[in-house]
Structures are given as structure tokens and as C-alpha cells.
Chains A and B, each alone.
Chain A
Amino acid sequence: MQDALFYTFAFLTLMFGFLVIANPFSRNPVTSAMFLVLTIISLAGLFVLLHAFFLAAVQVLVYAGAVMVLFLFVIMLLDLKAEERRKIKTLGVVGGLISTGAILAIFLSSLLKAPLGATQSPVVEGGTVALAKLLFTQYLLPFEIVSLLLLVAIVGVVLLSKKDLK
């Protein structure tokens, strides 16, 4: 059951991920964004299989709820109809495939060499309480820095989105 669910979610994640970057039906960025939402939701399914329930919910909440709404809103504002009819350059596709294939080969070969056999018994439970304890004790400083980063981002966005950007 667990294995079947894993293969289903993994397949869905990769298929939707592929449709984000190369949709055969439409080159409209909105369809890419919708497939990214689906990728994220199926990825949340994988997180649930890994017993990271809190992160799965946060993933859907932040990505599908906030980040993708922002993306769609910007696409709506810019209205990129004319962008759809451009040709994709063959050279770029070939180069991209070669470099990506090379990186994938590096990943897989390092995976084959890595000693993963000893860590086959999943034990850790991603409970909210345990995560919060870790976040507010050991990782308190990074947590504060990240909150500062968010503040900086807010200020930056307000400045950038002013009409008369100097």
C-alpha cells in the first residue's frame, strides 16, 4: 500500500513537473503555474508518506496558497499573450538536455556509491511539537534571521513596486 502510494505520488510529481517546463498543449505561463500547483500538492503527498505532516500542510499553505497566487497575480497583471508565439531554439534545448543529463549522471553515480544501506529503518516522526522545540532552541538564531529576511523582503518589495522607481 505504502509503496504503491509512493510510486503514484512520485510519478505524479515528475509528470506535473515535466508539464511545468514543457507543456505540449499551451505555452501560456498560467498553465505552467497550474501544473506547478499540482506538482506541489503531489509533493505534499510524498511528505505525508515520509510522516512530515506539518511540513506537508505548510508546503500547501505557503506554496499553493501564497507563492502561486502571487505568480498568477503577476501573470494576470502582465498579460503575456504575445510571449506565447516565440520559437524555442533547438540549440538551447540540446545544450540544456546535455548539461542536465550530465548533472543527473553525477547525481545517480554518487547515489550508487553512497552508503545508504544502513539507514533503511524509518523511525523519526515529524511531530509539530518536536519540530517546534528544535526550531526554538537549537535553531533560534537562524529562525530570527529568517524573520528579519522576511522583513527585508517586505521593505524591498514595497520599494520595488513603487511607480516611479529611481
Chain B
Amino acid sequence: MTVGLEHYLVVSALLFCLGLLGVIVRRNLLVIYMSLELMLNAANLALVAFSRFTNNLDGQVFVFFTITVAAAEVSVGLALIVALYRKRQTAHVEDLTTLKL
């Protein structure tokens, strides 16, 4: 059986679930962030696969936007984590349960 769209979509779904599992299970803010990146990448893979198999470049343009947005998101998120760490000396979600500093 040759590799078709559904193969890529299965890989993408599995990768997305791995990312989701990481977000739920891990307690380190940085690792949670990396798991979010995994989920974004899974979406990218699905979009590129769709674009390849449906004769339409729109999917690749979306991936372009996703990568840009992910870069912006990571920079702001990491700045937030650093700011939090300065206040609380921790990057562990269970220590960050109060809303007020």
C-alpha cells in the first residue's frame, strides 16, 4: 500500500496526542511549552499533507503563518516564564496556584 494522505494524518494525530499528553502530565512550564510546540507542529504536518494531496497551496501558506505565530508566541511566553521565575523562583505549575503575586 502506497503512502497516502491518511498516513500523514495518522502521524499528525499521534503527534498531536503526544503533545496533549505532555501538556496534561508534565508539570514543568518549559516542558509544557515544548509540548505545545509539538501540537502546533502536528497541525503543520496535517496542513502540508492536505496541501500536497488536494492540489492547493493554501495549506502551505497557513503553515507559514503558523510558524510565524509560534515564534511570536514562544518569545512572549518565555518572557512571561522568566518574569514569573524572577518573582517566584520556580517554573513549576503546582507552585503557581495563586493569582496574586
A residues with a Cβ closer than 8 A to B are 2-3, 6-7, 10, 13-14, 17-18, 20-22, 29, 32-33, 36, 39-40, 43, 46-47, 50-52, 54-55, 58-59, 62-63, 66-67, 70-71, 74-75, 77-78, 80, 83, 86, 88, 92-93, 95-97, 99-101, 103-104, 107-108, 111, 116, 119-124, 126, 130-131, 134-135, 139, 142-143, 146, 149-150, 152-154, 156-157, 160-161, 165
Contacts and interface: CB of A to CB of B under 8 A. Distances in A.
Interface in B56-101: 56-58, 60-61, 63-65, 67-76, 78-83, 85-86, 90-92
A75 B92 CA distance: 13
Contacts of A6: 3, 7
Interface residues of B, number: 71
A130 B57 contact: yes
A99 B17 CA distance: 9
Contacts, number: 228
Given A80-B28, A111-B13, A126-B51, 8 more contacts: A7-B3, A14-B14, A32-B31, A43-B45, A92-B25, A95-B24, A124-B51, A149-B72
Interface in B1-44: 2-11, 13-22, 24-28, 30-31, 33-35, 37-38, 41, 44
